[in-house]
Amino acid sequence: MRSIRVVVVDDSSYSRRTIGKMLEDMPNVEVVGYAADGEEGLRRIIDLKPDLVTLDLIMPRMDGFTLLRIIMNTHPVPVIVISSRNEDSRVFQALELGALDFVAKPTPTISEELLSIREDLQNKVRSIISLNLARIFTADHRAPVPSRADILAPRHHFSTEIQVVAIGASTGGPRALQTIFADLPASPPFAIVVSQHMPPGFTRAFADRLDRGSSFTVKEAEDGDPVRPGSALIAPGGCNLLFEKRGGEVVVSLKAPRPEHRYYPSVDAMFTSLSALFGPRMLAVVLTGMGNDGSAGVRAVKSAGGVVLAESEESAVVFGMPREAAATGLVDRIVTLGQMGDEILRMASRTEDGST
């Protein structure tokens, strides 16, 4: 296997050295260049043609956003943003400009704290091996997030069979979710719940961003929030999104991840919890992401009589999670991201005999 060649861009010399050491400790990873600002980073990327760039956002001379705009238009390359936890809204701007994923850098950045990102960073670099680069670089990263005024009125007639749509995603998920939410109409007659692998401190800004691009309410989930049609709940980073019946209504019950949950918020935990409460009135959706989170949950959903969709390899940035879901043999349909919104609506409007 050839080495993955990386350029590290960060205005802190300590961060550059430490990030570089974390990367070079990995087999088949070679750090081929360093840069202290966006201008120097642009020169390194043009000259060295790396397979991956790690990027700080706030830098002198040329910041990370400007660098992203330029390279995604002229020299597209996978980018992992390494950003301080107090820059959550900026992270999602970077994802919209074309960054693939991000790692939350502790604040303040001191030696012991920065080393805490090692596992997260290395896991995300490993996912580069599975990247669908055609999907990343054919997307129009310059397109703005649609406003509520841009959302079309509903074109579908619904039954009430599907009461909840549960969506799981990891790498590439933020942009995929924006696409799906923009395709759904105002006041869908089902609730939406989402577990997107994301660290604490970022999911509130993520939910707010989805809310601005959707025709229905999207918020970060809190304990006791009801699962109701026409709105979406996003699992808080670092928590599992579980559910219980309370007073005749299904509500959120946030729990700390269990040891077996390598990735969290856990898609498996969310699917399993919902399947016990909704049975055949649940639709589970597995989107882009590395690893196998969601595959055990798919089994629980199907055992309870629910329906499962998965994103196809054609559109998934990383096909790991959809592949593992499909490997169960229990996925009902595999469709591209562009078809996913319509397929969710079609599945939600099916009658008891399976027609629409």
For residues 192 and 177, is the Cβ–Cβ distance under 8 A?
A: no
DSSP category for residue 209: H
Question: Phi then psi for 353, rounded to 5 degrees?
Answer: -90, 5
Q: How is residue 93 written in tokens? A: 């701007």
- Using CB atoms within 10 A of its CB, is residue 108 exposed (0-12), middle (13-18) or buried (19+)? exposed
Q: What CA–CA distance (Å, rounded) separates 45 from 33?
A: 9
- The β-bridge relationship of strands 164-169 and 52-55 is unpaired
Cis, bond preceding 108 (omega within 30 deg of 0): yes
Annotated catalytic residue, options 197, 214, 275, 315:
197
The structure tokens listed for 180 are 């799906």
Active-site pick, 127, 170, 215, 266: 170
Q: Does 261 qualify as catalytic in the annotation?
A: no
Q: Which tokens sit at 252?
A: 């959120």
Determine which one of 10, 101, 268, 293 is catalytic: 293
CA distance 18 to 117: 10
CA distance 199 to 217: 22
Q: Which residues are catalytic?
A: 170, 197, 293
